[in-house]
Amino acid sequence: MVAVFEVRGLTKTYTMGEVDVHALRGIDLDIEDGRFVVILGHSGSGKSTLLNILGGLDVPTAGRVVYRGQDLTAANDRALTAFRRHKVGFVFQFYNLIPSLTARENVDLVTEITDNPLPSSEALALMGLSDRADHFPAQMSGGEQQRVAIARAIAKRPDVLLCDEPTGALDITTGVVVLDALARVNLELRTTVAVITHNAAIAAMADRVVTLADGRMVNDQSNAVRAAFSPVSTSGSPRTPPPKRFLTTVH
């Protein structure tokens, strides 16, 4: 498999007055094309720092990130901006939707500035939200809002989708529906997906689980068999309740 990211000796040190905070202490990691990678670790272990550097939102103190042969750590601002804008979709814990715009309009913010977008109707359908397209964020549940945020992130057909605790604000049942949506993006659109999470169900759905502790990679495990996920919902209607097989894996 082709490596989307080659990470070598990645180090990030924040200097806070007289104190050095070692967020990353030398990470070596390859992420192959089409993978669904989960990043686990306690709070403060460096997960967000790693994801932000992969996505070109932050720069390392030392080490390299090579994206499909392009050394991001040697890239100038313009090249890094182009990488972020065209190649990376981000999903965060809080959905950051614009309250005065409908679901469709929130997604169209991206389709209007992208060369070859996934039409908002298709992005919303993939998220099982066709019948919610004209609803405002306040009229949707947290899980639905997060799926709108994912629809927005995938509307530019990103090469990689980076998600920082996308289910962090959701209960476990709703979180599983969101994860299911991410698995669908990975399998239907073949987008490489990296997800930071504390949710055990996600780890079972990933084909690879990387664990960080104190800025180091302490475990790297491949799952031979991924937990099943539901096929794409062509009807566009949300699936409720989520499949029981996921619930049984949640502790």
Least separation in angstroms between CB 212 and Mg ion: 10
Picked from Mg ion, ligand ADP, none, the partner binding residue 116 (CB below 5 to 8 A depending on kind) is: none
Picked from ligand ADP, Mg ion, none, the partner binding residue 41 (CB below 5 to 8 A depending on kind) is: ligand ADP
d(CA 189, CA 113): 20
133: Cβ contacts below 8 Å, ≥ 6 apart: 102, 103, 104, 120, 121, 124
Torsion of CA 65, 71, 77, 80, to 10 degrees: -70
Counting contacts by CB under 5 A, is residue 48 touching Mg ion? yes
Reading the block at residue 128, the tokens are 């099982």
Least separation in angstroms between CB 164 and ligand ADP: 7
Beta strands in the chain (DSSP E): 3-16, 19-32, 36-40, 62-67, 70-71, 88-91, 160-164, 192-196, 208-213, 216-222
Reading the block at residue 160, the tokens are 């990689």
Is the CB of 34 or the CB of 44 nearer to ligand ADP?
Answer: 44
Contact between 178 and 150 under an 8 Å Cβ cutoff? The reply is yes
Counting contacts by CB under 6 A, is residue 23 touching ligand ADP? yes
d(CA 184, CA 207): 13
Q: Which stretch binds ligand ADP (CB under 6 A): 15-23, 98-106, 114-122, 178-186?
A: 15-23
Is the CB of 20 or the CB of 134 nearer to ligand ADP?
Answer: 20
Scanning residues 33 to 62, which ones bind ligand ADP (CB under 6 A)?
41, 43-49
Least separation in angstroms between CB 231 and ligand ADP: 32
- Which residues of the shown chain bind Mg ion in the complex (CB under 5 A)? 48
- Which residues of the shown chain bind ligand ADP in the complex (CB under 6 A)? 14, 16, 21, 23, 41, 43-49
